[in-house]
Amino acid sequence: MTVSTFLQKSSRGSIETLVVDNALGRAEIALFGGHVIAFTPHHDNRQRLWLSPVADLTGKKPIRGGIPVCWPWFSDDHGRAKGELPSHGFLRNQVWQLVETQQNEDKTTVILSPPVTSGEGFGFKTDVALHITVGRELCVSLVTKNTDIKQFTFNAALHTYFQVDNVSKTELLGLSGNYKDKLSNWQETPTPSPYVFSGETDRIHLNPVADNIISTSGTSTLVKHQGHDSIVVWNPWRSAASIADMDAFGYKHMLCVETAITQGVVLNPGDSRALTQIIA
């Protein structure tokens, strides 16, 4: 079904999607999770996002790949025992609503919002919206507005899975300073240079630089970050074999570079915070 010339309704498995295709780029957005699953600018026709070939597309668990939206906590940092509340918050499991679309000469913007923004682990009133702009670049912006009478603290991430030909031949440019290593009990460790990959990697970089470049097989993907306090870099490597919705060698073709808030943003009543990732 056509919503506008540039926006069509489609589906993947049992999940409804919106396909944006305009003069400069094409993206596919799953309503389940408010989740961008594909982006290809027309000028080079190169897919920027990795979607697991065995992703669960039943709408029963979060989609493995694309740009998962983590909110209002990151990972298992919800103050309860691990597993008591869903990893990365409770927006990845909801069917988001289409709120608005905007079109100008070379950009299409789709605004989505989740139906439920408070629940176990986070009991505040808030408006959350995801603004997705598709053109030569993809811009994804998660806007949190405090509509409560109380202040609250939240974390969030745009947990993007980038497609790479071979992660062993990939270099990540632009990071410096220390990172916290989840694999070494959060020990602070200096960022390697060159930043290349040869094993499981799960790191929260504390120096929130504005840009990264993922350099792989003669291509460069520019990743811009705004409104963040950290950048997370993740590849499960061989432990992908124990992740149900990744095949054993899926790790070779993905690298997560995440625009994140992991140190807690305090939002006063009436205030908003945008967390933005731009992919070129």
Binding site for ligand TA6 (CB under 6 A): 62, 75, 87-88, 159, 182, 202, 232, 234, 256, 258
Tokens representing 279 are 């992919």
Q: How far is the CB of 221 from ligand TA6 (least distance, A)?
A: 18
Nearer to ligand TA6, 202 or 229 (CB): 202
Q: How far is the CB of 28 from ligand TA6 (least distance, A)?
A: 19
d(CA 57, CA 270): 36
Give the gyration radius of the chain's Cα atoms. 18
Nearer to ligand TA6, 110 or 232 (CB): 232
Tokens representing 187 are 């020990």
Tokens representing 137 are 């670049």
Nearer to ligand TA6, 111 or 158 (CB): 158
Nearer to ligand TA6, 28 or 202 (CB): 202
Q: How far is the CB of 240 from ligand TA6 (least distance, A)?
A: 11
Asked if 69 contacts 56 with a C-beta cutoff of 8 angstroms, the reply is: no
Nearer to ligand TA6, 88 or 253 (CB): 88
* CA 130, 133, 137, 138 torsion-angle sign: positive
Q: How far is the CB of 62 from ligand TA6 (least distance, A)?
A: 6
Asked if 98 contacts 115 with a C-beta cutoff of 8 angstroms, the reply is: no
Asked if 231 contacts 260 with a C-beta cutoff of 8 angstroms, the reply is: yes
Tokens representing 88 are 């990365």
Asked if 64 contacts 246 with a C-beta cutoff of 8 angstroms, the reply is: yes
d(CA 69, CA 158): 5
Q: How far is the CB of 41 from ligand TA6 (least distance, A)?
A: 25
- Residue 179 has phi, psi (to 5 degrees) of -125, 160
d(CA 34, CA 95): 7
- Residue 241 has phi, psi (to 5 degrees) of -60, -25
Nearer to ligand TA6, 130 or 232 (CB): 232
Question: Which contiguous run of DSSP H or E holds residue 46?
Answer: none
Nearer to ligand TA6, 85 or 256 (CB): 256
* 197-226 burial: b if 16+ Cβ within 10 Å, else e: beeebbbbbbebeeebebbbeeeebebbbe
Q: How far is the CB of 159 from ligand TA6 (least distance, A)?
A: 6
Q: How far is the CB of 202 from ligand TA6 (least distance, A)?
A: 5
Nearer to ligand TA6, 12 or 182 (CB): 182
What three-state secondary structure class fits 227?
coil
Q: How far is the CB of 74 from ligand TA6 (least distance, A)?
A: 7
